[in-house]
Structure 1
Amino acid sequence: MIPQWKMAGCLGCVRIGRRRQSIAAHVRGDTSEEDTIMPAVESQAGELAHGGLREAASPLSHAFRRVEMSREKAWDKPSSGRAKRLRRRAFLVAKSLPVFPGQSVLELGAGSGAWTEHLSFVFGGQNPITGAVFNRELEQRARSRKLLNTNIIYVEKCRSAFPQESFDFVVGTDILAGELTSAIFEIVYGWLKPGGQFLFFMSNSSNPLGWLLKALSPSGSVNQVTGFRNTVSLKAWSDEVGAMGFSNVEAMPCEAIPPLHSNAGQAIGLILESTSVARGFSRTISLRGTKPGKSTKDQTSLVSLAVRPELFGTVSVVIPCHNEEANINRLVKTLLELYGEYIHEIVIVNDNSADHTAQVAMALAKTDHRVKLVNRTHPAGVGRALRDGFAAATGKYILSIDGDFLCIAPEFEGLFDAVADGCDGAIGSRFSSESVLIRYPFFKIVCNRGYHLLLNLLLGQRVRDVSNNLKLYRAEILKSLVIEENHFAANVETGLKPLLLDYRIREVPVSWINRTAGMGKSSFNLLKVGPDYLRVLLRAAWRHWRGQYHSSR
């Protein structure tokens, strides 16, 4: 049920109560769309994209058409970086929400399908995409792209366009307009399933560089789309949308710097985008939120990603767990749904947990014989848990993961593809051009990028990320590997030593999403484990210089 209209959260501009009630009444169905009028009283939102004319009244769908067409005209202008930005936004949708295979996605204001094409590429046909288009001429352009598992629909009346609770996700880029924002989110609330999420990208009109470019532009505007945005704070956006009934509403700056593809360029970009100063110059704001309720991800079966027959029944998954009671049940069930045909066994290594991790694991083992529990006694440590887990594994391949990797489980597919293609192993790399980092601490980024820069210099390697505990190797590699570290630094050993032994290892782009409050706390402490990481690197460099690592080939 759509919540009652909220009068708070004014977004910093003049709004007439009667007009807001009229929009809300239209969304609830109390009046027809043709009778709904939106006077353009805001100085920015009332500006039309063509000629700067002001229209006194406009139906909701007609206003959508103007904004969509304004954006398309801006996109038709040559831009060297637009395709990269649109592809990056598609990755953000897929990986940061995250979108699991089989879940439905609605793109609001799909227009000519320019961004839809990037969404289709990123989802790879695993998710049904519906593109809602508000202009007939743009509909034909979108259909002509013939995108995989994508349905383009011309929307004439917004309220009746789709049944209630039809989509798991609603997304859009450069479609939010100041005059339409409240009405959009009332409609989106109805279209989303319980637990569904939205993610919209919009221009950051408070960017100082944008003001400068606008002042220098002969027409007074560098981008026709920008003229529709309200100059408001991120908190105002969050409060306005949160007042409509959404939870976990978050407005975040992004695209502070152009996309960079070199290792050094990406490192600099990641560090800069983590600073508050750089975020103030971001080109774009992402606005996301969740409709309250239980997500369909927990209620329905997911689409299986196990499509390589040569891997069927060959993979042992090793999960070192310390107080992972809140995560292990959903993680194991998701693994079995997404990759069940691959899985020979799932070895849960309970590393002296003080919660009910062991009990949850035993309950899972009773429902599926492939789940096995290894209980460790003191002393605890990630390295010790990995050694015991690898020793207990009996599959042809071993996949090593952490207990909080649920949100990135669909991205394991790239690791499986790598070994099926003939690689000896694959490492999940969090710092590739296709990776997404959510709430990654600034200090950790600086240390991680500095560490890998030093690693590459000392060892003559060209790697982005070997310290993540997301690796898939032939079992004999890990069983023969001497893990000398007892704690988190063991993750560097499992990434670095196979490379130095000249195994064919592929880095696969994956994302990193920080734990939420409901996932418990990690025991990782950078200041405590930092010296261990440095010791591993210096020891490996010394042995490498002395020729102690012999090629496996």
Structure 2
Amino acid sequence: MTKKLLVVVPCYNEEASIAKLLTELLNLKLPYDLNIAVVNDCSTDNTLSVVKQFNVIVLNLPVNLGIGGAVQTGYTYAYKNNYDLAVQMDGDGQHPPTELIKLLTQQEKTQANIVIGSRFILKEGFQSSLLRRSGIAYFYRLNQLFTGKRILDITSGFRLFDKKAISIAANHYPDEYPEPESLVTFAKAGLQIEETPVVMKSRQGGQSSIRSLSTIYYMVKVSIAMFFAYIRK
């Protein structure tokens, strides 16, 4: 039986990049029953109008939930509709659709519950700024302390979940800057987490939610969140 695969694309003001991303996703030839769910997180630009031109599932949020809430909405849809696999991809074009094949191949090979697309294994493609790489290195060490796992690209939003991981994410998912915190939760749940090398691009449009003035807040908030995820029963 062909496995059902849902690509979850959270979007907030991504009108500059979303059309190209969806076009490339729809042109992929994969041995899966592929669907795409765009979660429009109350965009104030023309993102919704652009998305509606494509043959995709549109989950239009009535209020802005942030990246965590938008992603969880996608996983909840995947869970309720019995998808075998779900892949999170950013709407800003940083994750090339052709790289999705690498995550799927790694999951088939290892049967991991979660596969993370990592920029830092082969260090090819866009590597982010020096400041952000320093922050990622910090969260790598913090995650290793809490979970004992070595996850190089701890903040990567390019992730594949199997049914077990989808079920957990649909019910328990952080609301803000979720990637590092969620991995502590998944590790505590005993999920097998793998990384595979991918090539990413720089943001193709829009603005990141993490900018200079919010960097310190981000570091402190995520550190505290990872700690509480670690001690939570």
Q: TM-score range by the shorter chain?
A: 0.7 to 0.9
Instruction: Tell whether 2:44 aligns with 1:324.
Output: no
C-alpha deviation, 1:538, in angstroms: 0.9
Match of residue 479, structure 1, among 164, 167, 182: 167
C-alpha deviation, 1:437, in angstroms: 4.6
Give the 3 Å change call, closer, same or farther, for CA 387–331 of structure 1 in structure 2.
same
Instruction: Tell whether 2:227 aligns with 1:541.
Output: no
Give the 3 Å change call, closer, same or farther, for CA 470–343 of structure 1 in structure 2.
farther
Instruction: Tell whether 2:81 aligns with 1:391.
Output: no
Instruction: Tell whether 2:66 aligns with 1:381.
Output: yes
The residue aligned with 2:119 is 430
Instruction: Tell whether 2:35 aligns with 1:345.
Output: yes
Instruction: Tell whether 2:206 aligns with 1:520.
Output: yes
Report the AA paired with residue 116 of structure 2: I
Instruction: Tell whether 2:50 aligns with 1:360.
Output: yes
Report the AA paired with residue 342 of structure 1: Y
Report the AA paired with residue 315 of structure 1: L
Quick one: distance in 2 between partners of 1:353 and 1:485? 20
Quick one: distance in 2 between partners of 1:494 and 1:398? 16
Report the AA paired with residue 424 of structure 1: N
Give unmatched runs, 5+ long, in structure 2: none
The residue aligned with 2:135 is 447
Give the 3 Å change call, closer, same or farther, for CA 313–334 of structure 1 in structure 2.
farther
Count of residue correspondences: 225
Q: Is contact 2:17-2:91 (8 Å) kept?
A: yes
Structure with the greater alpha carbon radius of gyration: 1
Q: Secondary structure at the match of 1:353?
A: coil
Q: Secondary structure at the match of 1:435?
A: coil
Q: Secondary structure at the match of 2:208?
A: coil
Q: Is contact 1:315-1:343 (8 Å) kept?
A: yes
Instruction: Tell whether 2:179 aligns with 1:491.
Output: yes
C-alpha deviation, 1:501, in angstroms: 1.8
C-alpha deviation, 1:429, in angstroms: 1.7
Structure number with the bigger relative contact order (C-alpha 8 A, sep ≥ 6) is 2
Report the AA paired with residue 193 of structure 2: I
Quick one: distance in 2 between partners of 1:479 and 1:416? 19
Report the AA paired with residue 523 of structure 1: S
Q: List structure 1 runs of 4+ shifted beyond 6 angstroms.
A: none
Quick one: distance in 1 between partners of 2:19 and 2:3? 21
Instruction: Tell whether 2:104 aligns with 1:419.
Output: no
Q: Secondary structure at the match of 1:398?
A: strand
Report the AA paired with residue 535 of structure 1: I
Q: Is contact 1:440-1:513 (8 Å) kept?
A: no
RMSD (Å), alpha carbons: 2.2
Q: Is contact 1:350-1:375 (8 Å) kept?
A: yes
Report the AA paired with residue 522 of structure 1: S
C-alpha deviation, 1:484, in angstroms: 4.8
Quick one: distance in 1 between partners of 2:96 and 2:181? 23
Q: Is contact 2:173-2:182 (8 Å) kept?
A: no
Q: Is contact 2:117-2:158 (8 Å) kept?
A: yes
Q: Secondary structure at the match of 1:324?
A: coil
The residue aligned with 2:198 is 510
The residue aligned with 1:529 is 218
Q: Is contact 2:38-2:51 (8 Å) kept?
A: yes
TM-score by length of 1: 0.38
Matches for 1:115-194 after TM superposition, within 5 Å: none
In the TM superposition, what whole-angstrom CA distance separates every residue of 1:378-400 from its partner, at most 9, and x where no partner exists? 24311111121111223211111
C-alpha deviation, 1:495, in angstroms: 3.0
Quick one: distance in 1 between partners of 2:185 and 2:4? 23
**Percent identity of equivalent pairs:** 25
Quick one: distance in 2 between partners of 1:392 and 1:459? 28
Q: Secondary structure at the match of 1:522?
A: coil
Q: Is contact 2:155-2:179 (8 Å) kept?
A: yes
Q: Is contact 1:426-1:472 (8 Å) kept?
A: yes
Quick one: distance in 2 between partners of 1:492 and 1:333? 30
Give unmatched runs, 5+ long, in structure 1: 1-309, 366-370, 549-553
C-alpha deviation, 1:521, in angstroms: 1.9
The residue aligned with 1:457 is 145
C-alpha deviation, 1:374, in angstroms: 0.6
